[in-house]
Structure formats: structure tokens, C-alpha cells
Amino acid sequence: MIGYLVFGLLAVIALLLLFHIFRSKEQGDISGKLIWTDYGIKTKPFYHSEFLVFGKPDLMYKVRRGVKAVEYKHRMGPVFDSDIAQALAAALAARGSGYRVIEVLVKTRSTELSIDLRESDSAVYRKLQGYVLLVRQAKDGRAMQKKPEARKCRSCAYREACA
């Protein structure tokens, strides 16, 4: 009888341990306290008034020396330059709203890239200035040049409209 109880207790402990390991891998083993979550369209984006940049990361964690912003991409494959630009814009906007973002983590289902942001807001903006100008031109109605690439087009939400 005691043997069954011990076996049952060990099985429960093993299951809890496996659950913890699986959960930490799903979350990318991000340490720190979760302090902000993007809940979609109802979540207001951050804004940096000096650089006129809006953005919002998927999650933000309080880490030892500041804040880590996380951007998830729900696809297999590499992290693209446009993913990095989106993550940097979100981090810069969060900084403009008072969060001390010192790192950005961009994750796809198969890859992750960590970017150290222990630098000035101006230095971060310089990294994405070209993208910001393109976005502003597109919003002003200027026709944008298509740059189709099979590997990117496969995961693009607009692939049917962009022929």
C-alpha cells in the first residue's frame, strides 16, 4: 500500500517537473517578471514623441537591469529584418512611454534572436530610420515597390492580394 502511495507521489512530481520544463521551453525560458502584455487591438500602442514612433511588443518582462521586450512570430523559419525593425520600433516606443527597454527578443517557432539595446534612443532610431521613412511614405499614399521573395511570401498575410 505504501509502495503505491510513494509511486503515485513520484509520478505526480515527475509530471509537474515535465510540465515545468515544457512550459519554460514554450516561453523561451524568459526569466523575469511579466509586466506588460499586448492583448491585441484593444491594447493602446506606446509612442515616442521625439521620434514619432508607435509600437507595442507582445510581452515585456522586468529583468535585472531594465526591461526585456519580446516579439513572437508564429511561423517556422528565420527572423527577418522586418521582424527586427518591428521589435526595435516597439522597444523605442515603449522607452518613450517610460519603460527602460535594454533588450529585445524576437522569436519564431524555430529561431530566436536577442538584441542588446543598452544604447541611446537616438542609436536605436538610427537602426530603423529607413523603415520608418518607408512606412511614412506608404501612409502618405506613395506607391511602394514590391520586393517578393518566395520564403517571405509563404508566410505573408497579404500574399493573395499582392500578385
Give burial (CB, 10 Å; 0-12/13-18/19+) of 97.
middle
What per-residue confidence (pLDDT) applies to 150?
76
Q: Could you read off the pLDDT tens digit of each residue along the chain, which spans 163 residues?
A: 676 655 555 555 645 544 544 443 344 558 899 999 999 999 999 999 999 999 999 999 999 999 999 999 999 999 999 999 999 999 999 999 999 999 999 999 999 999 999 999 999 999 999 999 988 998 898 887 877 777 777 777 777 777 5
What per-residue confidence (pLDDT) applies to 11?
54
30-140: what fold?
Trna Endonuclease; Chain: A, domain 1 (3.40.1350)
C-alpha cell at 17: 517537473
Q: How far is CA 161 from the centre of its chain?
A: 26
What per-residue confidence (pLDDT) applies to 22?
45
SS (H, E, C) 103-116: EEEEECCCCEEEEE
Q: What residue type is assigned to position 127 of the chain?
A: K
**Rounded CA gap, 90 and 58, in Å?**
9
What per-residue confidence (pLDDT) applies to 15?
52
Q: What residue type is assigned to position 96 of the chain?
A: G
What is the value of pTM for the model shown? 0.76
Q: What is the DSSP string of 132-150?
A: HHHHHHHHTTPPPPP---H
